[in-house]
């Protein structure tokens, strides 16, 4: 929890105030360290395969058929979930849910901790969530839960996640699936 520095007594730590910026192109972020993409993928797979109730949170960019890439990514995310033996709980939209979210069925960026608490999720992957909402949710998750967060971003990445991979498209997802299969053989 951030009790010192620019965020003061707010329980919400903000990575940039700890001088952590998104990784440069071609690289990934593992906690505070800039690493090669493969290293981050291996650590991400390990976290998902060894922690309780691993879950993938696909967002609107991959759960709606906006274009051919979205459809291809959705198929690959299903395959990734099978390899990682992870549940899929979608983030169908970004509207706060009134009067109460059904945490078995969905996650929402305005109160993501409710879904994580309810399902006792200890590792998760954000994919296909628009960057602003991913960042709002990741800050809350980091403050309110002990869930290990992984962000697969098609843009510049999310420094508030514990592992962030940037410029992730279908090709990179295929690579992640192959690495996850290798890691699975090692840890299972």
User: Where on the chain is the footprint of another protein (CB under 8 A)?
Assistant: 7, 10-12, 14-17, 21-22, 24, 60, 64, 66, 93-101, 110-111, 114, 130-133, 135-137, 139-140, 143-144, 155-157, 159-160
Give the distance between the most distant pair of CA atoms in the chain.
46
Burial 112-144 (b: 16+ CB within 10 A, else e): bbbbbeebebbbbbbbbbebebbbbbbbbbbbb
Residue 23 Cβ vs another protein, minimum distance, rounded to whole Å: 11
φ and ψ of 100, to 5 deg: -160, 140
Residue from 165, 135, 143 nearest 153 by CA: 165
CB of 19 to another protein, least distance (A): 9
Instruction: State the nearest-atom distance from the C-beta of 167 to another protein, in Å.
Output: 11
Q: How far is the CB of 93 from another protein (least distance, A)?
A: 5
In whole angstroms, the minimum distance from the beta carbon of 136 to another protein comes to 5
Q: How many helices (H) and strands (E) does the chain have?
A: 6, 7
Q: How far is the CB of 50 from another protein (least distance, A)?
A: 28
Three-state DSSP at 35 gives strand
CA separation for the pair 42, 118 (Å, rounded): 28
- Cα–Cα distances in Å, from 160 out to 14, 24, 156? 7, 15, 12
Cα-Cα-Cα-Cα torsion 73, 85, 157, 144, nearest 10 degrees, comes to 130
């Amino acid at each position: 929890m951030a009790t010192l520095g620019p965020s003061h007594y707010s329980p919400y730590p903000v990575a940039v105030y700890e001088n952590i910026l998104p990784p440069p192109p071609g690289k990934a972020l593992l906690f505070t360290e800039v690493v090669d993409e493969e290293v981050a993928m291996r650590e991400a797979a390990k976290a998902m395969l060894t922690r309780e109730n691993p879950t993938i949170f696909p967002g609107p960019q991959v759960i709606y058929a906006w274009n051919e890439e979205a459809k291809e990514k959705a198929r690959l995310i299903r395959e990734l979930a099978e390899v990682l033996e992870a549940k899929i709980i979608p983030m169908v939209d970004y509207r706060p849910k009134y009067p109460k979210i059904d945490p078995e069925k969905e996650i929402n960026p305005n109160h993501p901790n409710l879904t994580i608490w309810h399902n006792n999720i200890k590792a998760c992957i954000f994919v296909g969530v628009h960057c602003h909402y991913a960042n709002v949710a990741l800050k809350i998750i980091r403050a309110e839960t002990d869930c290990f967060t992984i962000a697969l971003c098609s843009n510049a990445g999310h420094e508030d996640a514990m592992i962030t991979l940037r410029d992730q498209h279908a090709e990179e997802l295929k690579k992640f699936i192959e690495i996850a299969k290798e890691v699975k053989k090692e840890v299972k």
